[in-house]
Amino acid sequence: MRIAFLHTRFLPRGGIEGYIDGLARRLIAAGHEVHGFCHFAEPPVPEGLVLRRLPRPPLPRALDVLLFAETARRAPARAGGFDIIHGFGKTYAQDVYTEAGGCLADVLEATLPAAPSGLRRTLKRLGPHRRAVEWIERRRYGRPPGPLGTGHVLAVSRLCREQVERRYPGRSGTVEVLYPPVDATALAEARAGKGRAALRERLRVSPQELLCLFVGSGYGRKGLAAFLGAIARLAAAGVRARGVVLGRERPSVEAAFRAEAVSLGLGALVRFEGFSAEVPLYLAAADLLVLPTRFDAFGMVVLEAMAAGVPPVVSARAGAAEVVRDGETGAVVRDPLDAEELAARIRALAPREVRAKVGVAAAREAGRFSWEANVRRVVEVYETAAAEKRPDALTLAAPATILPG
C-alpha cells in the first residue's frame, strides 16, 4: 500500500514521535511505501521513508499550526495520491487518525492549574493558539469522513476515546482503542545488564535504598510537587527512599522545584538529571516508577517501566493506568495532588519481595502490548479504510508480513 503519514516532526524518540518512527520502520519492512509529510525531521529517519517537508515560513504559533493542517490536507493529492492517509497530530483530513493527545478542552481543564503564572494560564485558555487547535479539532471530529474530515480514529486509551465521544456525539461508538506497543525485549535486556549497578553507584544510591524515578517534561502537569511531597513523607516515616527526576523544563521552573526540594529537606535525596535519551537505563536502575500526572493521554513510560519489571505508581488521570491492575502489576493513585496517598502507595510497594512479585507480573502484562500485534491491527484498519474509500479501484496486496519487535 502507498501510505502517507502526517505529523509536524519526525523524530526517533518521544511519545507519538517514537511510535510514528517504529510504525514506519515496520510498515516499510513489510513492503509498504511510506511517505512522511512534516515540517522537520531529525536523523536517523527510517530507511526507505520518503520525507516530504512542507513549507514553513516564519509565522506566529497559531498561524503555523493552521498552515500545517491545511498544507498537510492538500499535499498528499499533489504527491500523486495515497491508498491511506494517516494523521497523528494537529491535522483534520485523513483516512485514519491516531488520537494521542485528548480533546483540548479536557486537557486544559486538567492542566491549567499547573501553569506557572496567571498570564500563561490566560494565554492557554483564551489565546489564538487555543482557538486554532480547537478549529482543527472541530473539523477533525465534527465533519463526516472525506476530504475535510477524518475516517477511522484509533485512540491510545479509553480516556481519549471517552473525551472524543463526549465532545463529539456523532463519533459515539466509532472510536477504537489501540494501546501503544512496547519493545519489551529491549527493556528487559537493559534491566538484566550491568548498567543498573553502575548508574546507582553514580547516583549514590545504595542497594538498600528505594530509588523512585520520575519521568516527564512539564513538571507541573506531570505532578512533580506531589512526587517531592511523597519522598519527604517517606523520609519522615523512616523509609530509605531517594528520587531521580528526568525531563525537560524551563530553567526558571526547574529552579523553583529545586528550591522546593531543598525546603522539604530533600537536597541530598532527590537528584534532577534533566533530559535524557537513556530512559531505559534509568528504568534499569530504578525500583519504582512514580507518575502522579494531572493528565496524560497515555504515558508511555508506564508501559516501558512494566516491560522492564519496574512496578509503576501512576495517577488515574493517565491513560496508561488502564493497563495497570491496581495492587497486582503496579498501583493506581486516585488523586495525583494527594502526596499522602502517593507516599502510602509507594510504601506498600517498598518491600523487596513485594516489588519482585509485582515486577514479574508487570513484565508479563506488558508483553501483551507487542509491536507485532499493534501493526497487524493498524494494517487491518488500513485495509478497511482503503476499501471504503475506493472499493472498486483499489486492489490490495497480499497480506503483509509484519516483523516482530
Q: Which three cell numbers stand for residue 298?
A: 497515555
Residue 215 pLDDT greater than 70, yes or no:
yes
According to the model, what pLDDT value does residue 405 have? 35
CATH classification (class only), 2-181+370-389: alpha beta
pLDDT band at 398 (very low <50, low <70, confident <90, very high): very low
CA distance linking residue 246 with residue 244, whole number of Å: 7
Rounded to whole angstroms, the Cα distance separating 305 from 283 reads 6
What pLDDT, on a 0 to 100 scale, did the predictor assign at position 127? 82
User: Would you place residue 397 in the very low, low, confident or very high pLDDT band (cuts 50, 70, 90)?
Assistant: very low
Residue ranges of E strands in 125-194: 150-155, 175-177
What pLDDT is recorded for position 194?
A: 78
Closest by CA to 76, choosing from 168, 176, 6, 152, is 6
56-64 average pLDDT score: 93
Distance between CA atoms of residues 204 and 271, nearest Å: 10
Q: How far is CA 50 from CA 24, 95, 252, in A?
A: 10, 19, 40
Average pLDDT over residues 9-20: 91
> How many Å is the maximal CA-CA distance in the chain?
70
Decide if domain 184-366 falls under CATH 1.20.140.10.
Answer: no
Q: What is the reported pLDDT for 114?
A: 63
Check residue 192 and give its pLDDT.
77
Percentages helix, strand, coil for the chain (3-state, rounded to 5) are 45, 15, 35
Computed on alpha carbons and rounded to an integer, the radius of gyration of the chain in Å comes to: 22
pLDDT in tens, 104-148: 999 999 888 766 556 565 556 668 999 999 999 999 998 877 666
DSSP lists the bridge partners of residue 10 as 41
- At position 75, the amino acid (one-letter code) is A
- At 392, is the pLDDT very low, low, confident or very high (cuts 50, 70, 90)? low
Lowest mean pLDDT across 107-111, 226-230, 349-353:
107-111
Q: Name the DSSP class of 318.
A: B
Kindly tell me if the per-residue pLDDT of 237 is higher than 70: yes
Q: pLDDT-based confidence at 394, cuts 50/70/90? A: very low
Q: What is the pLDDT of residues 293-309, one digit of tens each?
A: 999 999 999 999 999 99
Rounded mean pLDDT of 64-69?
96
- Distance separating alpha carbons of residues 72 and 208, to the nearest angstrom: 53
Angle value at C-alpha 169, between 163 and 173, nearest 5 degrees: 80
Residue with cell 472524543: 164
Q: What is the mean pLDDT of residues 56-65?
A: 93
CA–CA distance from 35 to each of 2, 42, 372 (Å)?
8, 15, 21
Start-end of CATH 3.40.50.2000 domains in the chain: 2-181+370-389, 184-366
Taking residues 187-202, report their average pLDDT.
85
Confidence of residue 363 (pLDDT cuts 50, 70, 90): very high
For the cut 90, the answer to whether the pLDDT of residue 242 exceeds it is yes
pTM of the full predicted structure?
A: 0.90
What three-state secondary structure class fits 320?
Answer: helix
Lowest mean pLDDT among 119-133, 176-190, 206-220: 119-133
Please check the confidence at residue 395 and state whether its pLDDT lies above 70: no
Q: Are 226 and 337 in contact (CB under 8 A)?
A: yes
